[in-house]
């Protein structure tokens, strides 16, 4: 899978550009605030229909313009598709695949998988459980599209339940309605719990291997699912029962606080290094390596599940790594199309040997470098 070409009109700080891309390594070199991340973002938007930096499509349109256009030719299993996205500051976004307009505009399933590596990924280890839930939700949706549907459904029921809890302080008034919501919440929530558990289980096995390699067997990495719904084995009935009895036990408290205390919206993924919680015990350097491990494991997992490697977007991370880790990362570039940003020619280093296509970016102007 790869992106063959990209046309941007009024996207962020790009006026009108057209790029033909290499199906191997592409490098964008530019100083700060010239448009490197914007370009990776545009590639991500062409594949997924949305940004990895913002939920507000409007922000993607040039400050001084009303509309933006992102057109890309992407290739999946030898077949090329033309993806066209039109963003409008006041109207809804419009997406066309091979000139055919999609009915549901919000979700684009182009078939192209993308994994972003960015300095912000550190929040995966250091951040709140919410950051890890976002990672889980994004990753699982990439592999299993029905997951997104289950999650939306769960969130809708949760919102309705919380609204009900907030408007009434008296449990006799709302008991019957809560019973109905709880049945739905348990059903949708259990699917989410099972999917997350399975994903983390698979990811942990791959990650433990990769982390061994990256740390020369010095650190043992383990990922584990932490849910406030307790269960012994991964059995749907058992999880549903436990979820329901926990909700019942906490109902009075939930009515008092006006929120739902039990369910996968409070889950977390624990990351252990040598049996210690990495969020509090790992050094900054260790945390960086953990993030790299987890991201590469996700790449490997997508390959295992889907049969081809995702496109890699490496934003400002390559030159931060030491040479062993760089070499390891480079070994992934043989399998797939890769986009890398650098601030300086001098950081090219061993990337030069890969015969990359090099572009320079200056203030939204982009040039091929001979
Ligand atoms: N909607 C927009 N319209 C015009 N310029 C924008 C828009 N959004 C961001 N920019 C500009 O893009 C630049 C940052 O681009 P970015 O790709 O993040 O830089 P970097 O090269 O450091 O990765 C800034 O100068 C910012 O003002
Ligand atoms: Mg940047």
Tens digits of residue pLDDT in 152-164: 999 999 999 999 9
316 Cα–ligand 2 center, Å:
7
Backbone torsions φ then ψ of 77, nearest 5 degrees: 55, 55
To the nearest 10°, the Cα dihedral for 2, 145, 265, 163?
120
Which residue owns the Cα nearest ligand 1 atom 19?
Answer: 33
Instruction: Say what the pLDDT of residue 105 is.
Output: 61
- Please spell the DSSP secondary structure of 250-272, one letter per residue: THHHHHHHTS--SSGGG-EEEEE
pLDDT tens profile 112-129: 999 999 999 999 999 999
Of 35, 343, 360, which is best to mutate to test ligand 1, by the most ligand atoms within 8 angstroms of its C-beta? 35
Top-confidence residue, 53 or 175:
53
- Which regions of 211-351 does DSSP assign to beta strands (E)? 221-226, 268-273, 276-277, 311-314, 338-342
Order of strands across the sheet that contains 365-368:
114-117, 311-314, 338-342, 25-29, 357-362, 365-368
pLDDT at 29 over 90: yes
Instruction: Say what the pLDDT of residue 170 is.
Output: 66
Token output for 316: 């400002």
Confidence of residue 320 (pLDDT cuts 50, 70, 90): confident
In the block, residue with structure tokens 């062409």: 46
Q: Which domains does the chain have, with CATH numbers?
A: 1-113+309-370 (3.40.50.300), 119-307 (1.20.1050.90)
Instruction: Say what the pLDDT of residue 244 is.
Output: 98
Confidence of residue 110 (pLDDT cuts 50, 70, 90): confident
Instruction: Say what the pLDDT of residue 104 is.
Output: 74
pLDDT at 215 over 70: yes
* Residue (of 185, 187, 184, 201) closest to 136 by Cα position: 201
Confidence of residue 169 (pLDDT cuts 50, 70, 90): low
Task: List 67's β-bridge partners, or say none.
Answer: 88
**Ligand 1 contact, 211 CB (< 6 A):** no
Closest approach atom of ligand 1 to CA 65: 3
Cβ atoms within 10 A of the Cβ of 277, count?
12
Confidence of residue 174 (pLDDT cuts 50, 70, 90): confident
Instruction: Say what the pLDDT of residue 167 is.
Output: 85
Instruction: Say what the pLDDT of residue 171 is.
Output: 63
pLDDT tens profile 226-283: 999 999 999 999 999 999 999 999 999 999 999 999 999 999 999 999 999 999 999 9
**Ligand 1 contact, 33 CB (< 6 A):** yes
Name every residue whose Cβ is closer than 8 Å to that of residue 4 and which is 6 or more positions away in sequence.
20, 21, 23, 72, 73, 74, 75, 80
Contact 15, 35 (CB under 8 A): no
Mean pLDDT computed over every residue of the chain: 94
**Residue 323 belongs to what H/E stretch?**
helix 323-333
Which residue owns the Cα nearest ligand 1 atom 18?
Answer: 37
Count how many Cα atoms sit within 13 Å of the Cα of residue 104 in the half-sphere of its side chain. 4
pLDDT at 51 over 90: yes
């Amino acid at each position: 899978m790869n992106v063959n070409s990209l046309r941007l009109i009024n996207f962020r700080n790009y006026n009108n550009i057209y790029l033909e891309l290499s199906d191997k390594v592409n490098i964008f070199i530019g100083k700060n605030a010239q448009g490197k991340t914007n370009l990776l973002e545009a590639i991500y938007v062409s594949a997924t229909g949305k940004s990895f930096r913002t939920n507000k499509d409007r922000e993607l349109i040039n400050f001084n313009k009303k509309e933006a256009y992102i057109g890309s030719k992407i290739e999946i299993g030898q077949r090329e598709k033309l993806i066209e996205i039109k963003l409008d500051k006041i109207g809804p976004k419009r997406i066309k695949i091979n000139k055919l307009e999609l009915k549901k505009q919000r979700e684009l399933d182009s078939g192209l998988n993308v994994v972003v590596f960015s300095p912000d990924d550190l929040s995966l280890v250091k951040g709140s459980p919410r950051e890890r839930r976002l990672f889980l939700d994004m990753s699982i949706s990439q592999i299993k599209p029905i997951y997104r549907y289950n999650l939306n459904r769960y969130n809708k029921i949760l919102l309705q339940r919380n609204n009900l809890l907030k408007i009434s302080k008296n449990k006799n008034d709302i008991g019957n309605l809560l019973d109905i919501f709880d049945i739905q919440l348990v059903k949708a929530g259990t699917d989410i719990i099972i999917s997350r558990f399975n994903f983390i289980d698979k990811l942990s096995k791959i990650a433990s291997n990769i982390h061994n390699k990256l740390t020369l067997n010095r650190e043992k990495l383990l990922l584990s699912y932490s849910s406030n719904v307790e269960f012994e084995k991964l059995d749907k009935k058992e999880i549903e029962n436990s979820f329901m009895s926990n909700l019942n036990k906490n109902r009075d408290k939930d009515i008092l606080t006006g929120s739902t205390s039990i369910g996968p919206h409070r889950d977390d993924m624990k990351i252990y290094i040598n049996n210690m919680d990495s969020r509090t015990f790992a050094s900054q350097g260790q945390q960086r390596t953990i993030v790299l491990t987890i991201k590469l494991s996700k790449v490997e997992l997508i390959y295992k599940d889907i049969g081809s490697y995702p496109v890699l977007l490496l934003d400002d991370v390559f030159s931060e790594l030491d040479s062993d880790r760089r070499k390891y990362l480079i070994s992934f570039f043989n399998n797939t199309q890769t986009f890398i940003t650098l601030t300086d020619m001098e950081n090219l280093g061993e990337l030069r040997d890969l015969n990359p296509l090099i572009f320079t970016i200056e203030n939204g102007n982009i040039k091929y470098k001979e």
